[in-house]
Amino acid sequence: MIGGDPGRVPTGISLDSWQSAPHIHWAFQHIADFLPTAVISRGRGPVVELPSVPTRLTDLPLNAGVAPAPSGHGAAPTTVGQVMATTATDGWIVTQHGKILAEEYYSGMVPNTSHLLMSVSKSLIGMVVGALHGESMLDVDHPVTAYVPALGKSGYAGATVRNALDMRSGIAFSEDYLDPGAEVRLLEQAIGWAPRTVPNLPTTMYDYLVTLQQKSVHGGPFEYRSCETDVLGWVCEAASGMRMPELMSQLLWSRIGAQRDAAIGVDSVGTGMFDGGINACLRDLVRFGSIYLNEGYSLTGAAVTPPAWIADTYAGGIDSRDAFAASPGDNRMPGGMYRNQVWFPYPSDNVLLCLGIHGQMIYVNKAARVVAAKLSSWPLPQNANFLFATIAAFDAISTYVS
């Protein structure tokens, strides 16, 4: 059974199939047509225009040996254009100093198309945490139970907001997207994003979160777990007394000069899919990403989060890189780190990434003053070749324009 507006849903789209080829390209651009969503209003302020300064970037060569073959066989891409053409791209954009250098869309997607962000959503939630922290409504060093006592019944007892922000709680939660029994997939069943195969599973996001158990000490190694962001969303709602669509609109989306409203998938009681359910258009992603370059200010000049929050994001904690290196997962980013719901793929702090499965990305290059984004519909959730080829393309562009 699907919700939304099933009259507009093509034959073959179901809760079983929408995240799989060949349906994923359509589904990621039409979430509200078959799943319940809530609007994240852009407010009534003017749109921040992004002037176009067309720059030929598709022929730029990648650094030798950087990008692997996109499909695991055949020749590796050698130019930016080849990367974009071989990585199931729906749209990509590059800006510098708030000006569009390149922007392309594929297979019917257009600038106003709203697209599922998957885990790029996590970075938006992280920015809301930063905004609340800046307004002294939330202390990241406090335990999550200080805001959500119900989590005391779960494995999150004793975990801090900081532990969740940096994905360093000790919660048992598998992120194996190809395992239908992994917690990340059971969460989708609980909120109505997938068919129910476990009859006694809770039927809301929050009821599912309180069932999670602890496997190791909180504050240990980094381990990527989507549930951490869902706990952060719950903490934000409890600390502010507002539901996330209204809260994110007030603190973030209405302050960036967004082109259009965003939206978030919701469960049966209206709780957001915080870890991967936000939908937005491509240009609004670079408007959001610009906050990281502008010390917490948007392109409108509005303050979103304190400069200290952005500085902390770039600097990381004293042991952030050690915790990342100790991760049990294969992140393929030696010397990198994860802080405040964003990735740093290199030993330096110059490049920041917001990442989502199936190929969603915001790329921020501090030195080059470049903010880029790519929306995709990879057939499989994860593809290291596609991911690192895309990073290499944006790195090559940043080198060229700086």
- Catalytic residue numbers? 119
Whole-number Å distance between alpha carbons of 180 and 199: 14
Whole-number Å distance between alpha carbons of 217 and 259: 43
Reading the block at residue 135, the tokens are 């307004």
Whole-number Å distance between alpha carbons of 119 and 131: 19
Residue 121: CB partners within 8 Å, gap ≥ 6?
229, 264, 273, 274, 275, 276, 277, 278, 356
User: Tokens 């259009």 map to which residue?
Assistant: 260
Strand order in the sheet with 99-105: 99-105, 89-96, 370-376, 360-365, 351-356, 342-344, 337-339
Three-class secondary structure of residue 64 per DSSP? coil
The residues pairing with 89 across neighbouring beta strands, listed in sequence order, are: 376
Cβ neighbour number for residue 196 with a 10 Å cutoff: 15
Whole-number Å distance between alpha carbons of 225 and 333: 17
Residue 365: CB partners within 8 Å, gap ≥ 6?
350, 351, 371, 372, 394, 395, 398, 402
Whole-number Å distance between alpha carbons of 96 and 394: 12
Burial class of residue 251, CB neighbours in 10 A (0-12, 13-18, 19+): buried
Reading the block at residue 324, the tokens are 């990342």
Three-class secondary structure of residue 377 per DSSP? coil
Nearest to 227 by CA among 175, 150, 263: 175
C-alpha dist (Å) from residue 113 to 118, 284, 322:
15, 11, 40
